[in-house]
Amino acid sequence: MKKVAVILAGCGTMDGSEINETVTLLLALDQHNIEYQAFAPDENQHEVCDHVTGQRMAERRNMMVEAARIVRGNILPITKFNADDFDALLFPGGNGAAKNLFTYAYDGINFKVNKEVEKAILDIHKQGKPIGAMCIAPLMVAKVIGNVSVTMGSGGCRQAKELEMIGCKHIETTHGGVAIDKENKVYSTPCFMLDATLKDVYQGAWNLVEEMVN
C-alpha cells in the first residue's frame, strides 16, 4: 500500500470531520510510510456550529475550505477522485461527517449518502481495494456496499441495531479494536463511538492502518 485517499467533511466534530480522528489517522499513515491525498466535497456544510456552546451559527462554510485547515491546504475536490490512483480509501468520523458526507444526523437510518462519496466507495470496492472507516463512518460504508460487517463499538448502541436493520452485521469492539470484513475488505474502529480519550483514538487509528497493510 503506497498511496491512499482520505475523504473529509470539514473541520470540527460537530459540523465537519473529527479533528482528533483525522490527525491520528494521518499520523498513522505517515508512520507506515503511506502517502495520502485528502479530498472533500466542494460544497457548503449543512450547518456551522459553535464548538464552545454547541449551538448552530448563522453562517456558511465550505467543506473543502474548512478541511484544508487540517491538511495544510493539501486537498482536492472529491470530483477529482479516481480509484485507479489509490490503493485504499479512508474515512475519519465525527458528527459533522454524518451531516455532510451522509445525512444520518438528520434522517437516521433512512440517510442518504453524498453522490460523489458513494461513487468513491463503490469504485474502490469494485476494484477489490480496502476501505477503512472510523467512528460513525462505518455505518455509511456499510449501507453503500451492503451485507458488510463493521463495528460501532458497543453492541448495545442504537447504531449497532440499525446496522442489522439494513442487512449488515455488527462486530463488538473496545478501545483500539478493529473489526475486519475480509471478504469486502472493510476495516473499522470505534473511536468516539465509545467514551474514548485521545490515546484510545490514536491506538484505533494505528491499529486500523496496521491491519489494512497486513
The catalytic residue positions are 135
What letter does residue 52 receive in the DSSP assignment?
A: T
56 with 19: CB under 8 angstroms?
Answer: no
With a CB cutoff of 8 Å and minimum separation 6, the contacts of 68 are 40, 74, 75
Say which amino acid occupies 91.
Answer: F
Nearest alpha carbon to residue 177 among 134, 146, 121, 213: 134
If residue 100 lies in a helix (H) or strand (E), which one and from where to where?
helix 97-100
**Structure-block grid coordinates of residue 109:** 437510518
Nearest alpha carbon to residue 39 among 4, 81, 87, 1: 81
Q: Quote the CA–CA distance of 11 and 78 in Å, as a whole number.
A: 16
